[in-house]
Amino acid sequence: MRFEWMTRDTVRTYMGLVVATMVVLLVPSTPASAQDAMKAAVSFDSDGAMQRPKGYREWIYVGTPLTPNDMNGGSAPFPEFHNVYIQPDALAAYKRTGKFPDGTTLVKELVSVGSKQATSGKGYFMGEFIGLEVATKDTKRFKDEPGNWAYFSFGHEYPLADKAKAFPAQSCNACHANSAADDFVFTQYYPVLREAKRGAARSAEAGHTSHDGTTCEECKAGIRRFAMAAGIARKPSAETPVGALGEIPTGIEDLHKYLVAGKYKGFAASESETHPSAGPHSRFGSPVKVYMNAVMSDAFKTGKKALPKGAVSVKEMFSKEGQLDGWAVMLKTADDSAGGDGWFWYETTNTSDPSDYVARGNGVAMCYGCHSSGSDFVLTSFPLK
């Protein structure tokens, strides 16, 4: 399953997003009884495993995103339809307050791509039910998880499992924190949720409620929680190699000098031009360009699923005006990817100060959390275009 972390150039934008998500109306908050009812939508056994939800097709239908294989180089991380549902009480509370209340559950039912031809024309049409995944917010049960969200999968083929344990936080939360527009939820892809949020904001404005992020205690508490999650996700979880691996140095100053000198531009493969970023690097939608060394590109050419040690990708990140803003680097430092620990991750949005980097080291959750859906953690499609 699927913040841009507090870089100097984006902190104001990020704080604005956090404040926007902390809107509070001058109306009563979600009653405890309603929260209890929402939490009753899912149940857990004594070992903490979630029982597979029932009756969710009677909830509010949110939408169905699709990232088909033939639009993603033949191998999309999530190639099926995702029918998403939310409890009616949770959506009602979101409309009132602009916040997902405690007890919110989102069910994602996976459906295969069936026919691509109908009487109305060519397109993507649903096939069969093939899987089920759930995200739930519980401030008590998941008090130590980022945003208090936990994620579950009951399988990607039938018969589904009757119960499931939560994924490790770094498997899902880091990507959701990086890329989701509101409280770990990808509201940017669901007009039903976007409109609900706008309605809450209009009501708040009509009530003359001020939440500027500096005087509202709830806003400040929310910013502190998000900043804490950011700090945790930026920290390496594995030992980082000292020195250089092949042509790539891993030291702070040496790597920055290498990138500033543009030595990676001699790599074996590169994209022919910039394109809008599909991820949180620099800013969503800003231009990026990817380079791969021969170790990585040759492995992809031969169809290897596990990339060899020494594989490197460098992503240039530009402003919308075309100025180079920084780089994102991923370097495989071990034969085994080890869930992301076998990769060295680096990102900076400062082309002049080596000490001002967003992330650096092996096993950085904010990096491998998103990249875990790629081909051995590489999300860029090959061959490069």
Residues 34 and 66 in one domain: yes
**Which is more confidently placed, 38 or 242?**
242
Predicted pLDDT of residue 223: 53
The number of angstroms, rounded, from the C-alpha of 255 to the middle of its chain's C-alpha atoms is 26
Specify if 384 maps to a domain: no
Domain end among 196, 213, 233: 233
CB 349 within 8 A of CB 358: yes
Rounded alpha-carbon distances, angstroms, from residue 57 to 44, 60, 62, 95: 20, 8, 11, 20
pLDDT of 10 > 50? The answer is: no
Specify if 139 maps to a domain: yes
* Buried b or exposed e, range 147-161, using 16+ CB within 10 angstroms: bbbbbbbbeeeeebe
CB 91 within 8 A of CB 63: no
What's the structural domain count of the chain?
Answer: 2
Domain end among 233, 258, 273: 233
Residues 243 and 220 in one domain: no
Average pLDDT of the chain? 83
3-state secondary structure of 361: strand
Residues 47 and 183 in one domain: yes
Confidence at 320, pLDDT banded by 50, 70, 90: confident
Rounded to two decimals, the pTM is 0.57
Residues 146 and 27 in one domain: yes
Specify if 351 maps to a domain: yes
Percent of the chain exceeding pLDDT 70 equals 79
Domain end among 198, 233, 268: 233
Provide the domain limits for residue 93. Answer: 11-233
User: Within a 13 Å sphere around the CA of 108, how many CA atoms are in the beta-carbon half?
Assistant: 24
Q: Which amino acid is at 312?
A: V
> Tens digit of pLDDT for each residue in 232-246?
556 787 888 888 788
Rounded alpha-carbon distances, angstroms, from residue 170 to 145, 267, 271, 380: 10, 31, 30, 21
Count helices and strands (H / E) in the chain. 9, 19
Predicted pLDDT of residue 12: 36
How close are the terminal C-alpha atoms of the chain, in Å? 26
Residues 45 and 115 in one domain: yes
The DSSP symbol for 1 reads: -
**Which is more confidently placed, 243 or 26?**
243
Residues 114 and 145 in one domain: yes
The CATH number of the domain where 85 resides is what?
A: 3.50.70.20
pLDDT of 229 > 80? The answer is: no
Specify if 34 maps to a domain: yes
